[in-house]
Structure 1
Amino acid sequence: MNNDSLEVRGLTRTFGDLTAVDDVSFTAPAGQLTGFVGGNGAGKTTTMRMIMGVLAPTAGEVLFGGEPVTRAGRRTFGYMPEERGLYPKQPVLDQLVYLARLRGIAAPKARAEVLDMLDRLGLAGRSKEHVEKLSLGNQQRVQIVAALMGTPRLLVLDEPFSGLDPAAVDGMVDLLAEHTARGVPVLFSSHQLDLVERLCERLVILKTGRVMADGAPADLQETGALRHRLVVDGDAGWVRGVPGVHAVDVDGPVALLEIADDGALQRLLAAAVERGVLRELTPLKPTLAQIYREVTA
């Protein structure tokens, strides 16, 4: 089993006067899915390209298993770039077997492995078609197979779920789970925060090339702004007048609130009891989407 982690230390990349990635450091632990999120231009793709050696860093280093990553080491990594690297006029099966052989997999084994993954991603019947004849979602599935062939020691996937239907997402998740089960670290970027929240054991949030948050989702939730759900008899609009209470949303008898401190909480409770029956006051941990908005605001 692979028990090595990916470690990024102080990665920086400049393009003239532009600093696209600015002193980025994080760890993608062995056997875990690490989500890499940020808006367009945050530096996710540039960072992944430096990890894979496609771009040379201006400063910083990439380590795997505690050792600096070499060219030979990167040959054992699986990489899915943001731009598809497929040959549009070649049949799906032929080019995937060819790519697998470039990674040192014998032809019979490569063919069997490719056919198995195509079947699991719902493409078994399209193996002889040219890539350009496939829909964008199916082209994405073929690119995924190219990244997962063999037994990669690390997976770096740039927007792997983009364009996939729910069935294909489930198939992809199952494949990734098999890799993490044998200790492979998986780093993937995505704009689908609900999917990241469901899958990831670790999260790295970038903004303008810098790490704004890094940790397990549950730990990040503890540092986020705690909100409360209030339910009363009658309209809850009066909460807007309670000092120290910010009404995020009020919809009839239900209000979503941010409460500054214990004093504000006591004032809120007193006002609620004075006005009638208090039905509910429940603390709500912030969602990943809320944390993302807070740290990238």
Structure 2
Amino acid sequence: MSGPQADVVRAAGYTDPPPRVGFFTDSSVCIGCKACEVACKEWNAIPEDGLELTGMSYDNTQGLGASTWRHVAFIEQRKPLGGQEPGIGHEDVDVFTAAGNLGVSPSPVSSVAPDGRTELRWLMSSDVCKHCTHAACLDVCPTGSLFRTEFGTVVVQEDICNGCGYCIPACPYGVIDQRVDDGRAWKCTMCYDRLGVGMEPACAKACPTDSIQFGPLDQLRERAAARVTQLHAAGVTDARLYGEDPRDGVGGDGAFFLLLDEPEVYGLPPDPVVTTRDLPAMWRHAGAAAASLAALAVVSFARRPR
């Protein structure tokens, strides 16, 4: 592995790392089956955390947390699909067949029915820890519980976590959380145990539509760019990538997404930044202030009358 993707892994102390791997989640083909949620819980022995009405359509899980490492959002909208004009009905077979072939379900798309009803479209997307290139959680962990693996992912070692909770506000995506019963931090490991033996993560293995794609990060980014081009050509002009750009505020994510609307619609921050980005400057200012105080103390002591 070479280039920027290798740099983050080598910086963690690995001299000859394998290719950095990650997730590309294509929300345009997510059907909301939640197979990824179930597979994640089963493989990682994650406790059940309750089924509740969330106010997000048929979604019955609240969001990412210590006991939910994959979460499929259900978002209802009264909005046309991509560049489709409002008023186009289901009788337009060519438009809807093309959308279906692209994996974008035509049935929930907003359209005006003959009786004047406006139907909803559902946006579904499986969210997960982003495994940031510049991970603030790593910066603030005082015990080394959080570490960068040879695959470029970020993992919590629960047996080392002391429950301080510093990593929770440090995460720009609000992914990491503590379990109430033991106070330790938990999050997606990208199935680190499976990666070590050449297997793909359980969620990607279980996904029936290939909405969750796993592989070398460089290849996934190329595939994602081609997918956006394909959708734009089909008139789905709202399609865009989120988290794939190494020039963004976290240096690019190890888990990035194809979205069909603005990030905020999916509960994602529009411009995430490394929350610890100002720490070096703060330490420099603190050091300079300490040095100034020390110098002032020395001068004051030297000027004392003897």
TM-score (norm 2): 0.26
Higher strand share: 1
Q: Which has the higher contact order (CA 8 A, sep 6+)?
A: 2
What is the TM-score of this pair, normalised by structure 1?
0.27
